[in-house]
């Protein structure tokens, strides 16, 4: 009996001291598409947390080409696998590029946020914008959708992941994906909201 109780205590203590996880749940903009993994903003986030002696770890479940519908379909497994304390939701760009219905995207993003909250995770929703050639009405509705979801679900909101990227050399040859040199800017855009949520240990 004593050995059983001792084993149970070991398991309990291990769970209690496990490092909390930040799950980044996005598409190619977060999966380091076209650049070394170590240069992507998610990897840079992990390095920043280490430098600041944070006990958080980062899990990247981003998939290039992912839509909000794909994200909504797999969020349960992603949450079960990482058991995150914080989820950064960065999806929707591919919905916009494909001209998918905005209301459908909003419903998918809300489902991802709600699933994360049910598991006890705090959420940062990252917004996206489209170039004007997609039509003023669609562009405006698309941009507003992210803020509306964040407001309705009462979660932290980053208005635009690519804020501050206004030079051609900041993008790869496809003119869509940020180059390695631009990744620190993406990190700063996310950090403005995430930084205040990350509890750092006393020095």
Q: Which tokens belong to 180? A: 């390695």
Gyration radius of the chain over CA positions: 18
Phi then psi for residue 90, to 5 deg, are -125, 80
H helical segments located in the chain: 2-17, 41-51, 68-82, 93-97, 102-118, 136-153, 183-194
Of the candidates 30, 62, 68, 177, the residue annotated as catalytic is: 177
Q: Is 62 noted as a catalytic residue in this protein?
A: no
Residue 87, helix vs strand vs coil: strand
Q: From CA 118, how far away is CA 39, in angstroms rounded?
A: 32
Of 67, 64, 81, which is closest to residue 109 (Cα–Cα)?
A: 67
Of the candidates 3, 27, 28, 31, the residue annotated as catalytic is: 28
* Residues involved in catalysis: 28, 174, 177
């Amino acid at each position: 009996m004593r050995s059983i109780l001792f084993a149970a205590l070991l398991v309990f203590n291990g769970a209690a001291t496990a490092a909390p996880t930040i799950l980044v749940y996005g598409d190619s903009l977060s999966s380091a598409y076209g650049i070394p993994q170590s240069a992507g903003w998610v990897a840079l986030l992990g390095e920043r947390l280490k430098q600041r002696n944070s006990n958080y770890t980062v899990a990247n479940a981003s998939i290039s080409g992912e839509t909000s519908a794909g994200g909504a379909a797999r969020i349960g497994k992603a949450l079960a696998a990482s058991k995150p304390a914080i989820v950064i939701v960065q999806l929707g760009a591919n919905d916009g590029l494909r001209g998918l219905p905005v209301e459908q995207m909003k419903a998918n993003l809300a489902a991802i946020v709600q699933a994360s909250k049910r598991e006890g995770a705090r959420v940062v929703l990252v917004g996206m914008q489209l170039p004007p050639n997609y039509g003023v009405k669609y562009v405006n509705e698309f941009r507003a959708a992210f803020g509306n979801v964040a407001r309705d679900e009462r979660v932290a909101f980053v208005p635009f992941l690519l804020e501050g990227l206004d030079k051609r050399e900041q993008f790869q040859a496809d003119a869509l994906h940020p180059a390695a040199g631009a990744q620190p800017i993406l990190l700063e855009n996310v950090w403005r909201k995430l930084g205040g949520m990350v509890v750092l240990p006393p020095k």
